[in-house]
Amino acid sequence: MKNAPIVGTSVPRMEGRDKVTGHTCYVDDLVLPGMLYGATVRSRIARGKIKKFTFDTGIDWNEFAIVGPRDIPGKNCIALMEDDQPCLADGMVNHPEEALLLLAHADRHLLPKAVEGVSVEYDALPAIFTMEESEAQSHIIWGRDNTFKSYRIEKGDVDAVWQGADHIVEGEYTTGAQEQLYIENNGMIAAFDPRQGLTVWGSLQCPYYVHKALMKLFGLSADRVRVVQMETGGAFGGKEEYPSMIAAHAALLAMKAGKPVKIIYDRMEDMAATTKRHPSRTRHRTGVSKDGKILGGEIDFTIDGGAYKTLSPVVLSRGAIHAGGPYYWPSVLIRAKAVATNAPPHGAFRGFGAPQSLFALERHMDRIAQVVGLSPVEIRRRNLLKPGQTTTTGQTVTEQIDLGKLLNRALELSDYQSKKEQFAIENQQGARKKGMGIAAFLHGAGFTGSGERFLGSVVGVEASADGRLRILVSSTEFGQGTNTVLCQIAAQALGIRYEDMSIAQPDTDQVPNSGPTVASRTVMVVGKLVQSAALGIKETLAASGMLGDSYSPDEFRSACLAYVRKHGKFRCLAQFEQPEGIVWDEETYRGSAYAAFAWAVYIAEVTVDLTTYQVTVDDFVALQEIGKVLHPVLAKGQIIGGVAQGIGFALYEKVIWEQGRMQNGQMTNYIMPTSADLPTIRVYFEELGNIHGAYGAKGIGELPMDGPAPAIVNAVEDALHVPFHAIPLLPEDIFAALSESAAPERVAGSARGNE
């Protein structure tokens, strides 16, 4: 019997009905009996020694549970990569908003005043707020040299490039911090039972990250810590690592108070204290032939990690690997470095370093085009990677991707050429200047290098007592569609109905560790494992004689029921195995960085209004090759949402820092795009397939974050003929640059001939 395909169709979102009726239960909607509310006393200074706490005598402190570092039963750290970040500062603070003390009370109305009622005296120490200060090492604030991690990616012989180059093109490009701005603030509830151990419920991406952090902090064994993900109202990386901190705080208060404790951040606390996208600086020096071929180059990529290491080495790695983009570099030297400053640690945000380094590269490609005297289209066309060529890490492009064709299609879809000609005429007069900009890029799916092998993810599929199948994964839903797509994959694998599938709430007591929900890995890596585990169920039924070769969905369900009745629990697990041919050398940073890349060409059409200096994106074409599209509506939603965040990254979202503290931690003064600010974002797919992903899928979650910013800033330059090298690009920046360029023309960068 041939079943209608499920993969490739837009089935209803698994948890969609609850979301449109308001029934979905997020952590702030959960109330436990006798629950207290928790709050955090935070550092007001960037760096210094804590001398003394003074408690306002007008408050009855006996009513409060108060927790300090001495109350931590295990090690005072948030375990992640290196245990350098304390759960509560003990004697020394290293950034503003660092947690010092915790308070809990039954009446949440009393907490803000109580937090204000704790005064802290410090011996302030000199602090560092920029990457340049950190590199100068006038003060050492972390380790021996203020450097969390550095990498060197080397291919060919760059030193030999300069001699033969017709042009050497240099440029420096910077990107700012960006807040994830999920609409649901961070929150966590914890309960402690001396016999059973610790349970936390929260808004989070990675249950087993929280689990690991709590085990170390409390000195508890794995079976005495339970982490449950509640429905999560947006994450984008922003709920990858910081939820471990909040869970730790709620858990410490719950243990001290002997009652469950809920901590919900308000917007300002969430913005000021939790992670943001790493600010970056990229320097390019590229040798190019007179016909526009890249001969080789040096790329220096530096990110600001904030005060503790957290995930900075991994963000740095992805940024460095993507720094060469979708182009062929015969020789390249990429030097990457994550440095410490006294700001709250920067962290995961969709794209994870790649939007930063790709902004630089795609701006730089336009600069190279100008120096060589080619169009932005032609400079890209002449350098795009081809099958058989190698990336900067020496990974051979094995799939039959035709990036030139992708570029052509994007040009057609955006009506690029005729618009360029039209704008060139129209821009000669009037105060509204229009421009077109291109970005070509790629994004690696799954963990970098050997990451997936080290993770060794496990997934389960089980038959429930009612004969329905349930997927068991720690991969979380936070809007992207994890629940839906994994259920589609299992249903398709078994030839049963999508409606016969369900997925367990991520709960470390119930689900195996399928790895963190990050790195565009869920559909490709976890999806493939779900497919294997589902097939395991079918094979077991067939081997037991309960299922024939051909069956209807009802017969499959009956067979599951019969098996459960006879044998009890019926569960199949599948574990990740590294595919052959994916070889990575962590020491030299050579080899296959990713099992698959998604490829894209984005084109932005903008208007710059010379009365207000506001940039408006009028049209946006997002064309990508993402393997097979498993769910058209969800896939399109991922792309549009990522492009919108990319437009915010380019044109709207600016974190104002003062002494390491965010000054505009409100939605009133940190501006993200509204429905009135964005164009209709046009999404197109090419589908080559991918042997490593479930039904040919690659990862797509992060890809759309990489391209919008450079495409838009390239379009702004096209409109104004003034180059911009930094984002966010706000009206005041354009005003300042135009005022300056009214003076004699500056040389754009330091391009020079080499004859």
Q: DSSP of 377-396, one letter per residue? A: HHHHHTTB--TT-B-TT--B
Backbone angles phi, psi at 248, to 5 degrees: -60, -45
3-state SS class at 472 = strand
Q: How far apart are CA 60 and CA 66, in angstroms?
A: 12
Tell me the two tokens of residue 734: 């354009």
CB-side neighbour CA atoms (13 Å) of 727:
29
**Among the listed residues 30, 351, 12, the one whose alpha carbon sits nearest the alpha carbon of residue 184:** 30
C-beta of 25: minimal distance to another protein in Å?
Answer: 8
Tell me the two tokens of residue 599: 């490829």
C-beta of 307: minimal distance to another protein in Å?
Answer: 26
CA distance to 104, 228, 723, per residue, from 39 (Å): 6, 21, 46
Amino acid at 712: I
| Residue in this structure with the two tokens 């040299």, named with its chain if needed | 145
Indicate the residue among 23 and 746 with the shorter CB distance to another protein. 23
CA 406: distance to chain centroid?
A: 25
Indicate the residue among 69 and 679 with the shorter CB distance to another protein. 679
C-beta of 203: minimal distance to another protein in Å?
Answer: 10
Under a CB-based contact definition with an 8 Å cutoff, are residues 750 and 170 in contact? Answer: yes
Indicate the residue among 19 and 290 with the shorter CB distance to another protein. 19
Q: What is the CA radius of gyration of the chain?
A: 27
Indicate the residue among 199 and 638 with the shorter CB distance to another protein. 638
Indicate the residue among 429 and 675 with the shorter CB distance to another protein. 675
Indicate the residue among 25 and 583 with the shorter CB distance to another protein. 25
C-beta of 228: minimal distance to another protein in Å?
Answer: 17
Indicate the residue among 180 and 531 with the shorter CB distance to another protein. 180
Under a CB-based contact definition with an 8 Å cutoff, are residues 86 and 252 in contact? Answer: no
C-beta of 627: minimal distance to another protein in Å?
Answer: 20
Indicate the residue among 238 and 325 with the shorter CB distance to another protein. 238
C-beta of 249: minimal distance to another protein in Å?
Answer: 17
Residue 404 has a CB neighbour count (10 Å cut-off) of 14
Indicate the residue among 591 and 673 with the shorter CB distance to another protein. 673
C-beta of 257: minimal distance to another protein in Å?
Answer: 19
Beta bridge partners of residue 286, listed in sequence order: 169, 297
C-beta of 187: minimal distance to another protein in Å?
Answer: 10
Residues in the chain, overall count: 755
Under a CB-based contact definition with an 8 Å cutoff, are residues 562 and 658 in contact? Answer: no
3-state SS class at 681 = strand
C-beta of 496: minimal distance to another protein in Å?
Answer: 22
Tell me the two tokens of residue 22: 């308001």
Indicate the residue among 363 and 636 with the shorter CB distance to another protein. 636
Tell me the two tokens of residue 513: 């560790």
Q: How far apart are CA 401 and CA 406, in angstroms?
A: 9
C-beta of 47: minimal distance to another protein in Å?
Answer: 28
Q: DSSP of 76-120, one letter per residue? A: SS--SSSTTS-SS--SEE-STT-EEEEEEES-GGGHHHHHHTEEE
C-beta of 7: minimal distance to another protein in Å?
Answer: 17
Backbone angles phi, psi at 271, to 5 degrees: -70, -45
**Among the listed residues 505, 488, 458, the one whose alpha carbon sits nearest the alpha carbon of residue 204:** 505
Binding residues for another protein (CB under 8 A): 10, 12-13, 15-26, 28-29, 108-109, 111-112, 180-185, 231-236, 266-267, 478-481, 633-634, 636-637, 640-645, 666-668, 672, 674-676, 678, 680-681
Q: How far apart are CA 41 and CA 60, in angstroms?
A: 17
Amino acid at 638: Q
C-beta of 10: minimal distance to another protein in Å?
Answer: 8
Indicate the residue among 449 and 481 with the shorter CB distance to another protein. 481
Indicate the residue among 120 and 617 with the shorter CB distance to another protein. 617
Q: DSSP label at 44? A: S
